[in-house]
């Protein structure tokens, strides 16, 4: 069974500081994709970052980066220089065979 | 590119009526569309997967006669909630893809059944 676990229901970070959101997944597949999505109060799902499992290099998008540990099946998201606009629900997701499996989400609060 | 729209964004209906939600891929042809349901402060729950021109595949526990899905073209899928009841009130999100490497999400539809 494919499962995605986000062990932190809520996190908070001071503005301009760095925060790391954790995610682990369970799979027997070798070819898959991992994503972090942000869902602000508008409820629109916004792609933050994406990682192909066959790539060893960690993906980076401006202030967002991941620590992908394939053997450990871990895919954490680091947000640097946190901004007020980063406050949202963050979902880790695993995609295989055109089907998404989502984690339960982490609610991030940014403290001014 | 890769924009997905949903209509309506909000709908309120009376118990017992049917409601149709449209999902459109605006700038690409979506071979597959997905419908999700999201309760407050919870994750997305996949309801069904539809491929253009064929019957939708429903997830376990989702009533296919209650949630009718039609994927008539490569740019349009519809979800009809038949004989809606208050427990059907939720946030419904569609997504669309043309391959197996990514999905693009619509902005969602908030359904309230009185």
3-state helix, strand, coil in chain B (%, to 5): 5, 55, 45
Q: How far apart are CA A51 and CA A64, in angstroms?
A: 12
Q: Given an 8 Å threshold on Cβ–Cβ distance, is B103 in contact with A100?
A: yes
- In angstroms, the CA B30 to CA B22 distance is 14
Estimate to the nearest angstrom the gap between the alpha carbon of A44 and the chain centroid. 16
Supply the pLDDT for residue A60. 96
- CA separation for the pair A47, A36 (Å, rounded): 6
Touching check for A42 and chain B: CB below 8 Å?
yes
Share of chain A above pLDDT 90, in %: 87
pLDDT at A109 over 70: yes
In this predicted model, what pLDDT tens digit does every residue of B9-51 receive, in sequence order? Answer: 999 999 999 999 999 999 999 889 999 999 988 999 999 999 8
Q: Is A44 in Cβ contact with B42 (below 8 Å)?
A: no
Q: Which residues of B touch A (CB under 8 A)?
A: 32, 34, 38, 41-44, 46, 49, 91, 93, 95, 97, 99-103, 105, 107-108, 110
The enclosing H or E element of B6 equals strand B4-7
| Residue reference for tokens 């700038």 | B27
CA angle (A32, B22, B9) in 5-degree steps: 95
A20: tokens are: 């790391």
pLDDT digits (tens, 9 = 90+) for A24-74: 999 988 889 999 999 999 999 999 999 999 998 999 999 999 999 999 999
Are the CB atoms for B13 and B111 separated by under 8 Å? yes
For residue B43, the chain A residues in CB contact (below 8 A) are: 91, 102-105
Q: Which of B44, B100, B102 sits opposite A97 (nearest CB)?
A: B100
């Amino acid at each position: 069974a494919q499962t995605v676990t986000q062990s932190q229901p809520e996190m908070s970070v001071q503005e301009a500081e760095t925060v790391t959101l954790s995610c682990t997944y369970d799979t027997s597949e070798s070819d898959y994709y991992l994503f972090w999505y942000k869902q602000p109060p508008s409820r629109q799902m916004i792609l933050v970052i994406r990682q192909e499992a066959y790539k060893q290099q960690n993906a980076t998008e401006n202030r967002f980066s991941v620590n992908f540990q394939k053997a450990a099946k871990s895919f954490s998201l680091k947000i640097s220089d946190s901004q007020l606009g980063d406050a949202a629900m963050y979902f880790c997701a695993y995609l295989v065979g055109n089907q998404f499996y989502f984690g339960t989400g982490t609610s991030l609060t940014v403290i001014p | 590119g890769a924009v997905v729209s949903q209509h309506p964004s909000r709908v309120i209906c009376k118990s017992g009526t049917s409601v149709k939600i449209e999902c459109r891929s605006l700038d690409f042809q979506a071979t597959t569309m997905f419908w999700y349901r999201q309760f407050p402060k919870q994750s997305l729950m996949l309801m069904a997967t539809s491929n253009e021109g064929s019957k939708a595949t429903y997830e376990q526990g989702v009533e296919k006669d209650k949630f009718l899905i039609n994927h008539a073209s490569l740019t349009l899928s519809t979800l009809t909630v038949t004989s809606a009841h208050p427990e059907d009130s939720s946030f419904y999100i569609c997504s669309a893809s043309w391959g197996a490497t990514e999905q693009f999400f619509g902005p969602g539809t908030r359904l309230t059944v009185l």
